[in-house]
Amino acid sequence: MVKRALISVYDKTQIIDFSKRLIGLGWEIISTGGTERLLKESNLDVISIDEVTEFPEILGGRVKTLHPKIHGGILNRRDNENDQEEIAGLNIESIDMVVNNLYPFEKTVLNPEASRQEIIENIDIGGPSMIRAAAKNYKDVIIITDIADYDRVLNSLEDNSLDENKRKKLAAKAFGLTAFYDSMISEYFNKELQVEYPEYLIKGYRYEEELRYGENPHQKAVFYSHPLENQYQMQQLHGKPLSYNNYNDIKAAVDLVREFDKPAAVAVKHANPCGAAVGNNIFEAYSKAYETDEISIFGGIVALNREVDEKTAQKMNEIFLEIIVAPGFSEQASALLTQKKNLRLIEMPQTAEKIKDGNSLRQSLDGMLIQEKDNQTYNENQLELKTKRRITDQERKDLDFAWSVAKHINSNGIVVAKDGATLGLGHGEVRRVWALEQALERAEKDLQGAVIASDGFFFEDTIATMHEYGLQAIIQPGGSVQDQKVIDSADKKDISVLFTGMRHFKH
């Protein structure tokens, strides 16, 4: 009995060569719409879908394969006598292969010029139905949804090696594609309807690459991308492939540098900031960030929110850096930095933009934790100076800067800053005073005039430590039952305490 393949593809890459080889193996081809026209123009014998269904395409092509003679042909079980008697009585012929790759919903929804009607029309109905039917009946029907599988399937047909296991793998890929496709549609509607927390959360991710290893060499790791997210559209311009830790470090650096409107630079090591600064230009910002901790930045990741110019590149070139992320690189900067073969250069336009609102996701226990991104800063109306000492204009600028950095330090976190640059950073201690002591001890510059930001409220011991080091201004959330004691202690030591009325815990 002659085998039949139903071929209906939006992406017609390689489909002519595939069809020629398939016909050469003795197969008949049924086809629809544009695929049918293309194959016939290539002088290939093709059976029109209308000839099989004895019914025309209707509703502008919306309905063409949704027919018993198509789905009966796909879904009948070849080893089931009742199925075979039934399709014979209904004059239905078996379809032994389905080749389909769906309408480009993803491409359409990502096109800013696409109308809502265009997006809706690119929701494929017949394609997923055929794919799922063929995948369900994989023992008898070959399902191909990936152009990369064309030659593999043909080669297996030629040497008669397309066994059940290979068919099952094709079916698994097909079910993955339709689930991914439906996830994008679901996300589109939820976003349009502003449904933040739908009853069924479906997020579609596409495999991109295997990484060298995970956080440690004994752990496997891969990277999956989410096509409907566009917060980090990066292009690697130079250097070896990125690792698991590189991805985490890049995100940490980029999220922090995007806090600032002024030219800014951030250095990160092991997902922790080791230097951050703003300046009048990107060279000044990088120089100040570098000077925060000239040792820790070695082998680190640097993110900038302005194009890297030649002068900045020259200074960066003086030490070993793993990665530089920026909106762009000047021709001279690129020529200089690409001389180091192991230095990765990442172009990411979003480093010059604020992070958009949305949700952050984290796997936990047997599920997923979801929260809004911490994109807010304090409300000016909630900001309160709780002590007698006034804050100078420069202190206020530095307090704002330090507060933005504190959002990106693991709790309990402390930021010591001066003149738009971090002087010392205290990362995630179980006692806030320990984080403060760390930050102050690590500061390698004169602390006179420096300020402090804390992601959580202060206690009397932290005020005492500030006084010991001669610091006179702090910004913190407030909200502790100990607040009045802290305020009284700060007044006695001539320290300004600014309450924001909001906290920035980061765990």
The one catalytic residue in 270, 311, 467, 506 is 270
119: alpha, beta or left? (left if phi > 0; alpha if psi -120 to 50): alpha
Locate 198 and state its tokens.
Answer: 């739908």
Give the helix/strand (H/E) hosting 418. strand 414-418
The one catalytic residue in 3, 12, 67, 136 is 136
CA dihedral 399, 400, 404, 410 (to 10 degrees): 20
Helices 483-492/460-469 angle, 10° precision: 20
Q: Residue 5: helix, strand or coil by DSSP?
A: strand
Let me know: does 118 contact 108? Beta carbons within 8 Å: yes
Say whether 270 is catalytic. yes
Cβ-based neighbours of 469, under 8 Å, separated by 6 or more: 440, 447
425: alpha, beta or left? (left if phi > 0; alpha if psi -120 to 50): beta
Q: What are the distances in angstroms from CA 220 to CA 200, 243, 249, 400?
A: 29, 11, 18, 41
d(CA 41, CA 136): 33
Say whether 173 is catalytic. no
Q: Could you tell me how far CA 313 lies from the centroid of its own chain?
A: 28
Q: What are the distances in angstroms from CA 45 to CA 39, 42, 158, 231?
A: 8, 9, 20, 48
- Residue 499 corresponds to which amino acid? F
> Which three-class secondary structure string do you get for 304-367?
ECCCECHHHHHHHCCCCCCEEEECCECHHHHHHHCCCCCCEEEECHHHHCCCCCCEEEEEECCE
Give me the active site residues, please.
Answer: 136, 270
